[in-house]
Chain A
């Protein structure tokens, strides 16, 4: 028995490894990653880890947890996978499997012109975070390219340290692809209050370089001088091994609702997977979140351990800590055609509806609304607009009564 081989020890791969055993899987479990670091939480890398030079990465679970589950952790680069022979090539050595799970995650997009410059950074894994943290002492003027989650979380964290922080965003507002205009406005106001300079609608014209450093970002008729540049313009699924093996990929590695790829005995989970979604009538979507990674891992663990098979179906949820703001999102707003705003200042909720059906909820500073949103979406229930507008107590009461 060759067991399950998992490529990638991020949130998804690590969860799958221990969940397989918890579900009663009896065969070998091998977890392979390019890094030998004990698998760690990624979200703190843009916040607490960055701010404290002494901080260590926060392990997802103790080393003993893998030992207790009989998980073999291997470090190295996987050069190829061969679904026909059911092998992976790890550092030139062939490793056979019964089932292979691609939990290869995503890679940051980089602006090609900036790649390789000594003071240009991106932020995804521990190596990125360490490199950025090491560079901070010499960086007074920080420019963040991209007003997405990573960029804004980092900008907020750095603004509190006396640095001059500028965020450049091409869209008319930050978080334009992922949040309602009301949410963007509140985030922008909060960042401005922290002293972050926001330049939305930014039209990039180039960069000024001196030897191996970028010293200024050029826009229309102006230049923004910088000591350090953080590029946060999104990520792309790491599909290289799958594509090379002839496994169908689109934006991610394509799977069916049971997380199977196009190749027998090969599965994909987490940021790398593009999977049919129940909220989109089965259209495939790639979701980058801790919740999606760990829930897909648990789902697949049960399938591989027990033979049980069901479509993957969870309410997606997500959070971002941007300075003092806690932004929480439940559901997918892609198909919403109207929204309801409840704004009580420190506490705010945006309800996205598709016709009469609630499909997503964004909250700022209101965990109660977020948790209720997850319950409503899970149950497929939508209270009347008036109940949503009234507040969490009313929603809770409506859910209990109806």
Chain B
């Protein structure tokens, strides 16, 4: 069970366990991480799970994720990600994500 760190909008660090196979958005909403809404349930429709990758390695976003970031998310940066499109694996242990402002 990888531990993922989310930096909440007020700077609070939240270390959250993610179940293998679930999305990081699901792990964050279960733990009530501030600022992660996941309104569309993980379909890359709403960008309410937008985070910045602070440290750790992730596969590059797929076309769906990249396009939704470009056209929906606010305050985008090169390190923007939709956490609903990232599946938890052991390899993500120690990943740090900062919740993006909306």
Q: Does A314 sit at the interface, judged by CB under 8 A?
A: no
Q: Does B77 sit at the interface, judged by CB under 8 A?
A: no
Q: Does A118 sit at the interface, judged by CB under 8 A?
A: no
Q: Does A59 sit at the interface, judged by CB under 8 A?
A: yes
List the B residue with the shortest CB-CB distance to A317: B45
- By a CB distance below 8 angstroms, the chain B residues around A42 are 41
Q: Does B64 sit at the interface, judged by CB under 8 A?
A: yes
Q: Does B42 sit at the interface, judged by CB under 8 A?
A: yes
- Closest CB of chain A to B78's CB: distance in Å? 18
Are A65 and B44 interface neighbours, CB within 8 A?
no
Q: Does B39 sit at the interface, judged by CB under 8 A?
A: yes
- Closest CB of chain B to A71's CB: distance in Å? 13
Are B64 and A290 interface neighbours, CB within 8 A?
no
- Taking residues whose C-beta sits less than 8 angstroms from the other chain, chain A's interface range is 20 to 34
Residues 316-332 of A contacting B (Cβ, < 8 Å): 317, 319, 321, 326, 328
**Of the candidates B32, B41, B71, which one forms a contact with A41 in the assembled complex, judged by CB atoms under 8 Å apart?**
B41
Q: Does B13 sit at the interface, judged by CB under 8 A?
A: no
**Of the candidates B42, B45, B64, B67, which one forms a contact with A44 in the assembled complex, judged by CB atoms under 8 Å apart?**
B42
- A52–B67 Cα gap in the complex (Å)? 28
What 0/1 pattern do residues 55 to 67 of A give for CB contact below 8 A with B? 0001111101100
List the B residue with the shortest CB-CB distance to A43: B41
Q: Does B31 sit at the interface, judged by CB under 8 A?
A: yes
Q: Does A368 sit at the interface, judged by CB under 8 A?
A: yes
Q: Does A90 sit at the interface, judged by CB under 8 A?
A: no
- By a CB distance below 8 angstroms, the chain B residues around A321 are 43
List the A residue with the shortest CB-CB distance to B46: A291
- Taking residues whose C-beta sits less than 8 angstroms from the other chain, chain B's interface range is 10 to 19
Q: Does B1 sit at the interface, judged by CB under 8 A?
A: no
Are A65 and B41 interface neighbours, CB within 8 A?
no
Are B67 and A64 interface neighbours, CB within 8 A?
no
What 0/1 pattern do residues 59 to 73 of B give for CB contact below 8 A with A? 000001001101110
Q: Does A263 sit at the interface, judged by CB under 8 A?
A: no
Are A326 and B29 interface neighbours, CB within 8 A?
no
Are B71 and A367 interface neighbours, CB within 8 A?
yes
Q: A58-B42, A328-B45 are in contact. Are A368 and B29 (CB under 8 A)?
A: no
Q: Does B30 sit at the interface, judged by CB under 8 A?
A: yes
Are A371 and B71 interface neighbours, CB within 8 A?
yes
Are B31 and A62 interface neighbours, CB within 8 A?
yes
**Of the candidates B30, B68, B70, which one forms a contact with A62 in the assembled complex, judged by CB atoms under 8 Å apart?**
B30
**Of the candidates A52, A68, A319, A366, which one forms a contact with B45 in the assembled complex, judged by CB atoms under 8 Å apart?**
A319
- By a CB distance below 8 angstroms, the chain B residues around A319 are 40, 43, 45
- By a CB distance below 8 angstroms, the chain B residues around A60 are 29
- A317–B40 Cα gap in the complex (Å)? 11
- A230–B67 Cα gap in the complex (Å)? 34
- By a CB distance below 8 angstroms, the chain A residues around B71 are 367-368, 371-372, 392
Q: A62-B31, A64-B32, A326-B64 are in contact. Are A290 and B70 (CB under 8 A)?
A: no
Besides A44-B41, A371-B67, A392-B71, 6 new A-B residue pairs in contact (Cβ under 8 A), listed by A number = A43-B40, A290-B40, A294-B39, A328-B45, A368-B70, A371-B71
Report the 5 A-B pairs with minimum CB-CB distance, sorted nearest first.
Answer: A371-B71, A41-B41, A62-B32, A367-B67, A64-B32
